Amino acid sequence: MFFRGQTVGKYRILSPLGSGGFGSVYLAEDTWIDKKVAIKVPHRQNLDFGELVREPRLLASLSHPNIVTVLTAEKQDNVFFIVMEYVPGDTLEAVIERDGTLDLNRALDYTCQICNAMDHAHKQGIIHRDLRPGNVLVTDQGMVKVADFGTSRCLEIAAHRTPVIGSPPYLAPEQFQGKAVFASDIYSLGVTMYQMFTGVLPYDTPMPGDIEKLMKGELATPPKLKNPKLPKAISDIVMKAIAAEIPARYQRASDLLDAVLAARTPAPSTIKRPWRPAPVAAAGPSEELQEIQTRLKARETERPKFCWKCGKALPARADVCPFCSERQ
């Protein structure tokens, strides 16, 4: 749609960032304020204007540090595009492809940040419907931002039958029937967690003959079987997140977050502290203390003596006043 070096309004296109089923994303520069931004151009430009602005309107209502911020939406030369904050880094998908199984603490940290983002979206009544590693951005500092709410719907709309939208390996069973609820995003996040903890998906893209098995929860095996180092508590959390039946799953992102934090922090009774010998009481002042006392004593000066009769100062250790000859 756009090419490198092209000027679109006040934006200069620098390079393509990627392309998906719903649009292409470009790195651009806002020439008025010398700031890099990301520009998303939907593939379907012939949609009704209300449909085109649906995603930016949704994102504009989701002000959260773990969600990509929409700056504006514009139309130049009959091309509609969305201007968003530019997030330098990689997608979580690229991170997993590069590193494979992620370190436990790193994966849990990413999970918590995604949970915070989805909890905020759910509280606004918004379901993502296509939550997956390819739609999660990770900065060089480890900050996570959820992107691509292009397939999102409000709960009252998504709960009714709609076309099957999303990426099949991450879709909850009910989404294959055209339904979506908050717990559908939890399922997608559970699959993403599975992938972070093991480096692989819990199952391949379901074939038509596998849908019945997917509905019964017969396709996925516990991630601990693929990564023996994974704590059982974390493995159990993942399996609950990807439970086939909606009531068996965590219903909200906040529920999943609470479970992860509880499993991540050991109970006080299980914390092992290093053994240390009991301190031995000292029999007397230590050598160091004795040395300090000696130095202080050496610094003390004798208080001057005065004659009881004439009141004049006496020489040190004098028994008789040299001024009035009185014995002291």
Confidence of residue 264 (pLDDT cuts 50, 70, 90): confident
Domain 90-265 homologous superfamily, CATH: Transferase(Phosphotransferase) domain 1 (1.10.510.10)
Confidence of residue 238 (pLDDT cuts 50, 70, 90): very high
User: What whole-number distance in Å separates Cα of residue 321 and Cα of residue 146?
Assistant: 95
Q: Cβ neighbours of residue 241 under 8 Å, at least 6 residues apart?
A: 186, 187, 189, 190, 193, 249, 250, 256
Mean pLDDT is lowest, of 30-34, 139-143, 235-239, 310-314, for 310-314
For the stretch 254-285, what's the b/e string if a residue is b when 16 or more beta carbons lie within 10 angstroms of its beta carbon?
bbbbebbeebbeeeeeeeeeeeeeeeeeeeee
pLDDT 10s digits, 4-50: 999 999 999 999 998 876 788 999 999 999 999 999 998 888 888 88
What is the residue extent of each domain of the chain?
Answer: 9-85, 90-265
Residues 158, 181: contact at Cβ < 8 Å?
Answer: yes
Task: For residue 325, give both structure tokens.
Answer: 């000859």
At the top level of CATH, the class of 9-85 is alpha beta
* CATH fold match for the domains 9-85 and 90-265: no
- In the chain, the percentage of residues whose pLDDT exceeds 90 is 51
Q: What is the pLDDT of residue 274?
A: 45
3-class secondary structure, 94: helix
Residues recognised as catalytic = 130
Q: Which residue has the higher pLDDT, 277 or 62?
A: 62
